[in-house]
Amino acid sequence: MPIPHDPESRWWVEAAGTHPDLVGSLRPALIAFVAFDRNRVPRIAGTGFIVAAEPEFALVCSAKHVFTEGVLAAQRPTRTHAASAIVVRAVDKTPSLDPNKLKVVRQESTNATMLNIDYLNYNDILDIAACVLRPQEGESIAERLSIPLDTRVPSVGDVVHMVALEDMEVRELAPPGDWSGEGQQLSIFRRISIRVGVVTGVYPKGLRHYRWPAFTTSIPAKPGMSGGFVYRPREGVPIAACGIVCADSSTEESHQDFFHCGDSVVGCAWPAIALRLPLSLPSYPKSPTRTLFEMVRRGLVPAPLGGIERFNLTETANGDCIIHEAT
């Protein structure tokens, strides 16, 4: 069904232009990933959103493929192995977190800042990733707006808002002075998109080749919007992410016409609480980690909206954790 109570019976609308105050309030919570190849050529890989923040760090959620496809393709535009290779080295399919090869751009009310990624975690099952950002030396995170997770799943017909960055573009104004990138100047353009639509399907066991709990919406998602968040607007309830934008199968007509139903795939946010995070910063390869689920249970971080009581957690042989709803 189209958007309830919409006099024009549209399937989706772009609301950013008519809600500048909402755009301004959400701006500090959205970040863009900028990756560099060996020649320091920059490329924007996708969107992320801040789940929790302090002056010294920020926890961010995004889609896994933003890193394993977007960042990796930008850092290594030329394959280091044949497409038919049976065995691929882990280093060849893992994005680098080196600050010379990956930066995070965040815009506050009056200025923009760049941060570094201290830790990144995802698994092979979910198209969801979590990372920890740290400010550059001598800097701190000033405006600490956070979008908490929401472990509740929307229902078919619910009105939802999709918040992400789109029309992102990066240009080099001045080349770097040396291999470290010092002196390089960039011009980065991005626009906040807030799209309103409805949930068209809920798939607790996955949809087609998307093998994780997900739902679809009538909102078409453009390239670059992957990693943004979806929330249910409710009076008196804080904005909280019940989903993370993962894929889009919308027709060209739906991208151009509000009266055509889109088909975006949104990963449910609740499995993100199974991802591991370091217990201290800075983190190292063998630093101790704990799942967000356990951190919430121990009171180390605030509980997401909807709580965690109905979930169970099991650990796999390779150290990943699988979370599922209790029966």
State the average pLDDT over residues 3-14. 94
Quote the mean pLDDT of the chain.
87
Tens digit of each residue's pLDDT (9 = 90 or more) over 140-193: 888 778 899 999 999 999 999 999 998 877 777 677 766 666 766 777 777 899
In the chain, which segments carry CATH 2.40.10.120? 13-271
State which H helix or E strand residue 322 sits in. Answer: strand 321-325
Q: 284 or 231, which is more confident?
A: 231
Tell whether the model's pLDDT for residue 89 goes beyond 70: no
Tell whether the model's pLDDT for residue 324 goes beyond 90: no
State the average pLDDT over residues 118-122. 94
Tell whether the model's pLDDT for residue 247 goes beyond 60: yes
Tell whether the model's pLDDT for residue 11 goes beyond 90: yes
**pLDDT value of residue 167:** 82
**pLDDT value of residue 32:** 93
Written as one string, the DSSP assignment of 103-116 is EEEEE-SS-EEEEE
**pLDDT value of residue 37:** 87
Q: 255 or 319, which is more confident?
A: 255
79 band by pLDDT with thresholds 50, 70 and 90: low
Written as one string, the DSSP assignment of 119-157 is EEE--SS-S-EEEEEEEPTT----S-----BB-----TT
State the average pLDDT over residues 255-282. 93
Q: 94 or 112, which is more confident?
A: 94
**pLDDT value of residue 314:** 83
In the CATH scheme, what is the code of domain 13-271?
2.40.10.120
Q: What is the distance between the alpha carbons of residues 146 and 154, in angstroms, rounded to a whole number?
A: 21
**pLDDT value of residue 228:** 96
C-alpha dihedral sign at 74, 80, 86, 91: negative
Question: Residue 24 in contact with residue 109, Cβ under 8 Å?
Answer: yes
**pLDDT value of residue 269:** 96
203 band by pLDDT with thresholds 50, 70 and 90: very high
**pLDDT value of residue 175:** 72
Tell whether the model's pLDDT for residue 86 goes beyond 60: no
Q: What is the distance between the alpha carbons of residues 195 and 160, in angstroms, rounded to a whole number?
A: 8
The phi and psi torsions of 148 (rounded to 5 degrees) equal -70, 160
